[in-house]
Amino acid sequence: MFRDKINVGIVGGTGQMGKFFMEFFEKNNCKVSVSSRRTKITPINCAKNSDIILVSVPIDVTVSVIKNISPHINKESLLIDTASIKKGPVEAMLRYSKCEVIGMHPVFGPNVSSLKNQTIVLCPARTKEWFNWLVDIFGKNGAIIKISTPEKHDEMMSVIQGLNHFSQLSAAHAMSKMGVSIKESLEYSSPIYKLRMAMVGRILNQDPSLYANIEIMNPANIKVLKQYISSSKKLQKIIRTKDAKEFLNYFNECAKFFGDFKNEAEEMSDYLIEKMVEMKR
């Protein structure tokens, strides 16, 4: 079935993640065509002439792009998307196309140098020939492959992205309302605080529309954030009423939940702290 040189078409190929995969597939002996608002090649023509079509566009337009190009894709081809939400895009690919379909989420930023030790979540939805080829090419380049359903993926992302980004943005917003000086606070801080601020600052140095889509477009986020706010209010009440006994219960409940990972987390954070201390800042 497979040609000596696979034709890969990337719709949204001039974006950061699109460029990453353009370089990746070229390095792996594929012929790559790129389509975007800035190219002469249209998304439909890109889709017509490709063995693999990779949709790498913002989350809020992913489904509409899939709907537009899918009728023009050869049924022997493979259609993939890179959105960090999987249920909607996978349903759209299955509905509007007749080709093989795999939902994909590269769980890393586009600035990584390679796929080595980077996680890629794959949601095989309709596939016969292409799945093993895709797993093989990613595996040969050192990627960690996680197979999932779209529903399970979105559930996990509601914690990994939705809850995590929500708590970091909330902390930044609270600090801004209190008029806290970041620079001055770092003069008083421990390495742990500096590490926390580094993660918050990293998010705030990115494209805000990406994080808006991640927070707003995953329906699973609502349930997770409701629980987060409930847990926060409970802790706030414990602190306000100076209930030390209940604080210990709250803390120990969390510690029990984290189990053996606590030891791994301390070892990991010790390593990061050492590296931070070594930095000349």
Q: Which domains does the chain have, with CATH numbers?
A: 7-148 (3.40.50.720), 152-278 (1.10.3660.10)
pLDDT at 19: 94
Q: Does the pLDDT at position 190 exceed 90?
A: no
Q: Which residue type, as a one-letter code, is found at position 67? A: K
> Does pLDDT of 30 surpass 90?
yes
Query: Is pLDDT at 2 greater than 80 in this prediction?
Result: no
pLDDT at site 1:
55
pLDDT at 103 over 70: yes
pLDDT tens digit string along 59-80?
999 999 999 999 999 999 999 9
pLDDT in the model for residue 238: 98
* 5 band by pLDDT with thresholds 50, 70 and 90: confident
| Per-residue pLDDT at 42 exceeds 90 | yes
Q: Mean pLDDT throughout 29-54?
A: 93
d(CA 180, CA 172): 10
Report the distance separating Cα 225 and Cα 159, nearest Å.
9
What percentage of the chain reaches a pLDDT higher than 70?
98
Instruction: Please name which of 55, 1, 4, 57 lies closest in space to residue 30, comparing C-alpha atoms.
Output: 4
Sheet strand arrangement including 31-35: 31-35, 7-11, 52-55, 78-81, 100-106, 119-126, 144-147
State the Cα–Cα distance between residues 5 and 28, nearest whole angstrom. 10
Q: What's the chain's average pLDDT?
A: 94
pLDDT at residue 210 tops 60 = yes
The confidence score (pLDDT) of residue 3 equals 61
Q: What is the pLDDT at residue 38?
A: 85
Query: What is the reported pLDDT for 276?
Result: 83
**Listed residue (237, 87, 100, 227) closest to 150, CA to CA:** 87
- Say if CB 130 and CB 78 are below 8 A apart: yes
pLDDT-derived band at 37 (thresholds 50, 70, 90) equals confident
How confident is the model over 174-191, as a mean pLDDT? 93
Which pTM value belongs to this model?
Answer: 0.91
Which whole number is the average pLDDT over 225-233? 98
pLDDT at 277: 81
